[in-house]
A and B are shown apart, each in its own frame.
Chain A
Amino acid sequence: MIRTIAIGCPRWPIVAHDLPSDVPSAIFFANRVVTASVEAVSSGVKKGMRRREAQARCPEIEVLTHDPARDARAFEPIVTAIETFGPRVEVVRPGLCVMASRGPARYFGGEEALKQKMSEAVDEAIHAFRGNALHEDDRTRVGIADGPFAATLAAARGQIIEAGTSTDFLAPFPIRVLDNPALCDLLMRLGIKTLGAFAALDRTRVVARFGIDGEIAHRLASAEDHRLLEPRQIPPELNVSRELDPPAKRVDIAMFAGKNAADELADKLHTYGLACAKLEIEAETEHGEVRTRIWRYSSAFTSAAIAERVRWQLEGWLSDGAQLTGGIAHIRLRPEDVGPATGAKVGFWSRRGEVSDRVRRAIARVQGLVGPSGAKQAVLQGGRHPCEQVALVPWGDPVEAFRPGLPGSKRAPGPVEVEMPVWPGRLPSPSPVLVFDKPKTTDVADANGNTVEVTARCVVSATPARMRFNQKWHDIVAWTGPWPVDEKWWDEKAHRRRARFQVSLADGTAHLLVREGDRWYVEATYD
């Protein structure tokens, strides 16, 4: 087993933001906390918490947006500093690198000395770009153990694990460190709570029950390097390179070639029935400077994941950190750790894995015609108005609701069951079938032809008798309302006060009307 050193920068996305260490802050994605700063954690903010709850616990919290590309860009100088210790640094994600440690440890006089020197060098590199001092708990953590997985966990505790004892070191860790929520949830419910308990199972049986996902997890738990699943001699024709003429100084231009190369690499791997777990990205400038970086991935790289890593890396190099003197003239992609593609992506529990190639190709074509946001997927979310109850996500983005709380149901989707409060004040079902994102203006009149008004106390001035729709007046046969909606009264700019009405007309159609200010609108139609 290869001795591996892992270098982890805790809470990297926060550190990269360069805020003073006494300011509580957190990164949010889809309204949930992704990473919280030390200061925020001490006020009770936790990962996965909703934004409003986090703000309630810690009112002065700084809300930062989730931007992995920026994190990767900021991490580039750190990796450069780590590279001075030895070749072939592998970036797992922005904020975490691994590297084979045998050579460097010998050179620097032992693993302890290497660990010491490494953390000093990385801290120095972080200080070089941060104006503010680093929080004590955010200091770089270095760990050495057998294999990347054990080394990463050792790094979190800043430990050096003796060669051959990594299995014992891993045994007491909770199963959720495996970073495979679906599998971990299932194992937890089966009563397997630690890595030790999981590693004690017979591997053949684990494979039979959980497939390739289970095998990878089992290898990790037994401190065996999963990336060496049948390593192969990599045929040179798998390498992909692109010339850029003229050399590109901007990321978007370099990415044209980068994306293209990423797709070609994915295609080639697919043709040979292979998958790669590591990717070497190399760029050469017009002045002959060469930069190389290795990225590793938890399972097999997909085409989108390759393109994403290439973009991050090019951004990192083209920002000031890499000190390149010219534009990028050549991009090379080399897959490493290539093994047979065993379909590791799809587990037994996958519901979305069944997208056929035909559909995927058609959507790619549509996106090529009308832009990436042209093809959308819908996901239900919480909200009062039917327009708010559905989030439309561009195809390819993670399908996640922006707001929690499913309309009309009490449980959130996903394996972990959480009690979800139902949104109060939502419209009763059936929901309107036509929803206008820009409501159409209309008029509603009483029997004498005067406009129906709604007072500040929500009293209707007269019974609505007629409404104008598509330039024609229609008789109202039945109506209900007003249903007052007073939203965001705490925010001066976003505050809206409305009264909703349902009306049904003589021709059998029904509409959702809204009175806002002194205007009437048709918000939706029950067609």
Chain B
Amino acid sequence: MTDRLAALLAESPSIERASKLAPPTLPVLEALTTLLPHGGLLPGSTTQIGGASSTSLALALIAKATEQSWTAIVGLPHIGLRAADELGVDLEHLVVVDEATVDVFAAVIDAFDVVLACPPPARKAPRIAGRVRERDAVMCVLGPMPDADLTIVSSNARWHGLGDGHGHLAARTIDVTATGRRAAARPKHTTLWLPDEDGKIRTHTPVVRIRP
């Protein structure tokens, strides 16, 4: 019976199992697709981002989505929006709210597709996460978020271009690890240029020297 079913599936490629169908996601930059369980930001999910250079990483994560979706930055008054623009965030679809009360979270999650926020108060976090799920928003938290669907941690940041009294910060490489629940249970690693010398974000492929 199983053989016949397999044969049937092989014959007609249009029949796929529901579990195999990718859920609709918001797009991310190409270099980040391998990190995310569905190759994009899953509506209704929360992501916590930590480690050195977490702010750049968070902005890079939402950059592609801001081209189509309205985005709110909540409770992060120090974010350099010039840098956000350089990382690809579309400022025309961006609203910045400096206060981060529970009411603000609720209002913003109800309407915006993408929310980049400071960690909410720990006691309120489950309610906020529930609201995100219910409203199909994408919430990225810069810092700890209990029971986040996805945890992205960057480490081992190295800056290039700076010398001993000369040059300027030009490029950076970081190692990124993503773990999470369900489909993201197996950790994924990558090394990124964030940004490279042309200001682009791409995967860092180590140069392998082959002996002649």
Contacts and interface: CB of A to CB of B under 8 A. Distances in A.
B80 A435 contact: yes
B134 interface: no
B166 interface: yes
A463 B112 CA distance: 48
Interface string A319-363: 000000000000000000000000000000001100110110111
A235 interface: no
Given A365-B107, A378-B81, A431-B80, A508 B158 contact: yes
Contacts, number: 158
Given A362-B108, A510-B159, A386 B103 contact: no
Contacts of B91: 377-380, 390
B104 A369 contact: yes
A358 B111 contact: yes
A380 B85 contact: yes
Given A374-B98, A430-B169, A527 B107 contact: no
B164 interface: yes
Given A358-B111, A463-B165, A478-B164, A431 B86 contact: yes
Nearest to A361: B111
Contacts of B82: 380, 386, 389-390, 407, 431, 435
Contacts of A362: 107-108, 110-112
Main secondary structure of the interface of A (DSSP, over half): mixed
A55 B87 CA distance: 38
A359 B111 contact: yes
B108 A480 contact: no
A246 interface: no
Interface in A491-507: 502-504, 507
Interface in B116-169: 156-159, 162-169
B27 to A, nearest CB: 18
15 contacts: A352-B92, A362-B112, A375-B97, A378-B91, A378-B94, A389-B82, A428-B170, A433-B59, A435-B80, A508-B156, A509-B157, A510-B172, A524-B80, A526-B172, A527-B56
Interface of A: 351-352, 355-356, 358-359, 361-363, 365-366, 369-370, 374-380, 386-387, 389-390, 392, 395, 407, 428-437, 460, 463, 478-481, 502-504, 507-510, 524, 526-527
Interface of B: 52-56, 59, 70, 77-86, 91-92, 94-99, 101, 103-104, 107-108, 110-112, 156-159, 162-170, 172, 174, 195, 199
